[in-house]
């Protein structure tokens, strides 16, 4: 890999995390070793079931999701397609890169329909892999991850930091989940029952009354009118 490519990737990737699922131990270890030089953290899994468990546990521990999920398609216990389907139910905006063999073309259309970020074919050309990692890392670090109300008031979905009038504001885990969910489609009205169901899908318990109480407290931290309540329906970000 050329030095220029190394520096370009590192510019975007150095603070990002990756979950890598691959059942071939030698390929998994060699690829993860190379990626370690570019990313803040690399977690590996030997199949989809182990990867899904790691994905959920990482959120419980860090209050955020992996920035990138890199997965093979054919794996024991749970394949890559099922893994991605389950991850998208938890976090629809997850950036995913799929590694596929030449004889796995029947999986490509379903994965495209799911909305995966990129494909790379086996045998892996590592220059191409790192080009794709750079592209996806750049997308993550772009303004798409910033929910901005004013120049000095915004929420960074990547690192879960709320800044209001230039000062960083502490958020609870449930407040982060709420802001992440509503910022998936800014301006869209999310029904109260959808919000409760989302919390339950990631293993967190909450009911509509507690959602209202949480929103009331969160409003005191956010800029004025950042969250709009739509009577008898739900909430949206302004």
114 and 204 part of one domain? no
Residues 149 and 127 in one domain: no
pLDDT, tens digit only, all 238 positions of the chain: 444 457 788 888 888 899 999 999 999 999 999 999 999 999 999 999 999 999 999 988 887 889 999 999 989 999 999 999 999 888 888 899 998 876 666 666 667 767 787 888 888 888 889 999 998 988 887 656 778 898 888 888 877 889 999 888 999 999 999 999 998 887 889 999 999 999 998 888 899 999 999 999 999 999 988 999 988 899 999 8
Q: 140, 157, 173 — which closes off a domain?
A: 140
218 shares a domain with 159: yes
Q: Residues 101, 73: contact at Cβ < 8 Å?
A: yes
Please indicate, yes or no, whether residues 168 and 74 belong to a single structural domain of this protein. Answer: no
The answer to whether the beta carbons of residues 88 and 114 sit under 8 Å apart is yes
Please, what is the end-to-end C-alpha distance for the chain in angstroms?
A: 44
Query: Which of the listed residues 140, 158, 191 is the one where a domain comes to its end?
Result: 140
Record the pTM: 0.62
Residue 184: exposed, middle, or buried by beta-carbon count in 10 A (0-12, 13-18, 19+)? middle
Whole-number Å distance between alpha carbons of 218 and 197: 20
Give the number of domains in the chain. 2
Spell out a b/e string for 66-102, using b for 16 or more CB atoms within 10 Å of the CB, else e.
bbbbbbbbebeebbbbebbebbeebbebbbbbbbbee
What CATH number does the domain containing 230 carry? 1.10.10.10
Provide the residue range defining the domain that includes 153: 143-237
């Amino acid at each position: 890999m050329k030095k220029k490519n190394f520096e370009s990737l590192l510019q975007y990737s150095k603070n990002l995390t990756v979950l890598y699922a691959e059942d071939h131990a030698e390929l998994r270890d060699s690829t993860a070793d190379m990626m370690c030089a570019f990313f803040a953290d690399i977690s590996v899994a030997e199949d989809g079931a182990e990867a899904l468990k790691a994905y959920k546990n990482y959120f419980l521990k860090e209050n955020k999701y992996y920035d990138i999920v890199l997965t093979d398609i054919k794996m024991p216990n749970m394949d890559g397609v099922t893994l991605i389907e389950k991850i998208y139910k938890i976090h629809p905006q997850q950036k995913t890169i799929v590694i596929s063999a030449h004889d796995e073309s029947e999986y490509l259309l379903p994965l495209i329909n799911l909305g995966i970020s990129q494909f790379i074919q086996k045998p892996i050309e590592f220059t191409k892999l790192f080009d794709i990692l750079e592209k996806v890392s750049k997308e993550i670090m772009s303004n798409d991850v910033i929910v901005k109300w004013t120049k000095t008031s915004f929420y960074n979905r990547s690192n879960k930091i709320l800044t209001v009038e230039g000062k960083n504001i502490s958020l609870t885990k449930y407040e982060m989940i709420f802001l992440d969910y509503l910022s998936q489609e800014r301006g869209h009205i999310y029904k109260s029952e959808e919000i409760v169901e989302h919390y339950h899908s990631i293993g967190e318990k909450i009911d509509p009354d507690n959602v209202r109480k949480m929103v009331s407290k969160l409003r005191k931290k956010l800029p004025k009118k950042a969250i709009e309540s739509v009577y008898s329906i739900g909430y949206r970000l302004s």
